[in-house]
A and B are shown apart, each in its own frame.
Chain A
Amino acid sequence: MFYLRILIIILVSVAMGIIYNLISLNSIPFFPDESAQLANEIKHKAENLPDSVRWKYDPTALKWYPIRADQAYFVFDKKMAKFIDPRDEWDFKEIHIKGAINIPAYKFSRSMADLKKLNKDDMIVVYCEDEYCDNGKSICDSLIDLMYKNVFLYKGGIDEWQFAQYPLEGTKVKRDAE
């Protein structure tokens, strides 16, 4: 009887957990998708970086994380993330990562139509020209302020992406192809 009661208590708790998760507004998927797993893995790695290379760290707040070229390409290839390009329209038209959304830093506002294409849980990779470009960081900060949960900064930017010969779009790419 003792073990049966334990089993019943556990089974009832399991049932309550499953039912609550089905009806809750704050529910999580029963099995995590690949993108969520990878996001967690990158976050964990970023949190264990030494202070000298950790760009922004605030354990009490949402934060964005640096992402390397190979990780950025991985999430690009698997279509796990949305890429945001904060450069101006001219530079964006010229060349950008394939499928990226242009949200120029100087135009950024919380009511921008392009922001509505993003869900708060989406994996978002922001990139800029190169590692010296501050617009990427400022867009990451703004997205965090707007409560986006999975924001990553691809520090190497379009320069490194181009150098690695990863997929690009834009008028320059068309010209070069011709």
Chain B
Amino acid sequence: MKKVLSNKYFLLGTRVLIGLVFIISGIIKISNPHDFVDAVTNFKMLPPETVNLFVIIIPWIEFSSGLLFLFNIYSKETGTILIGLLIMFSIAVAVAFLRSITFTCGCFGDIFPQEIGLLKIVENLILIGLIANILINTPQNTLENK
């Protein structure tokens, strides 16, 4: 198992997967902020006055961190940001799930609607595990060591 997890092709594959997940998720939200406003509002976790700022900023953090992570640039830092985002999203989903609120999470806009639920939390936990594995097993990129 350890061999598989530290295999360079496995690491490359998961890095590409995670990078693309965040880039695509960010682009979808950036291109349709109105849908993301509806999704964030449905969670009922943020004061209404702050929802729009959240919607304007968070997708860009997802996008830029995903892009840098994909190309292994400052991946320790971007990986940490991505884990932070995933923890934040998981808490939001868990709270909505416990409140028995049912709606699509808006994680990928309306293009890939995903229901709030345990499956979404499990997905996020798997992503967190994969990012942590990459951070542990990959040396930092040359760019930041120069």
A138 within 8 A of B: no
Contact A9 to B60, CB < 8 A, known contacts A26-B31, A26-B33, A28-B52: no
Write out the residue numbers on chain B whose beta carbons fall within 8 Å of the beta carbon of A14: 57, 60-61
- With contacts A9-B65, A37-B48 taken as known, whether A149 is within 8 angstroms of B34 at the C-beta atoms is yes
Q: Number of contacting residues on A, CB 8 A?
A: 28
Interface string of B60-73 (1 = CB under 8 A from A): 11011100100000
Chain A: CB-nearest residue to B61: A13
A164: interface (CB < 8 Å): no
Q: Does A6 make an interface contact (CB < 8 A)?
A: yes
Q: A32 contacts which of B42, B52, B80, B81 (Cβ < 8 Å)?
A: B52
Contact A10 B33 (CB under 8 A): no
Q: Which of A63-107 contact B (CB under 8 A)?
A: none
Interface of B is mostly: helix
- The answer to whether B33 touches A9, judged by C-beta atoms less than 8 angstroms apart, is no
Q: A28-B52, A59-B104 are in contact. Are A9 and B74 (CB under 8 A)?
A: yes
How distant is the Cα of A47 from the Cα of B61 in the complex, in angstroms? 30
Cβ of A31 under 8 Å from chain B:
yes
- A129 to chain B minimum Cβ distance, whole angstroms, is 32
Q: Which of A2, A28, A29, A60 has the most CB of B within 10 A?
A: A28
Judge if B16 is at the interface, Cβ distance under 8 Å: no
- The answer on a CB contact under 8 Å between A20 and B65 is no
Smallest CB gap from A149: residue in B: B34
Task: Give residues 1-28 of A contacting B (CB, 8 Å).
Answer: 2, 5-6, 9-10, 12-14, 16-18, 20-21, 26-28
Picked from B44, B49, B56, B104, the residue with its CB within 8 Å of the CB of A28 is B56
Cβ of A17 and Cβ of B80 under 8 Å apart? no
Q: What are 20 A-B contacts defined by CB distance under 8 Å?
A: A2-B77, A6-B77, A6-B81, A9-B64, A9-B77, A10-B81, A13-B65, A17-B61, A18-B56, A21-B33, A26-B33, A28-B55, A30-B52, A31-B49, A31-B52, A37-B48, A40-B37, A44-B42, A44-B44, A47-B103
Closest 8 CB pairs of A and B: A17-B60, A13-B60, A13-B61, A5-B77, A17-B57, A13-B64, A40-B41, A37-B48
A residues neighboring B (CB under 8 Å): 2, 5-6, 9-10, 12-14, 16-18, 20-21, 26-32, 37, 40, 43-44, 47, 59-60, 149
Q: A17-B60, A26-B31, A28-B55 are in contact. List 17 more A-B contacts (CB 8 A).
A: A6-B80, A10-B81, A13-B60, A13-B61, A13-B63, A13-B65, A14-B57, A16-B60, A18-B57, A30-B56, A31-B53, A32-B37, A32-B49, A40-B48, A44-B44, A59-B113, A60-B110
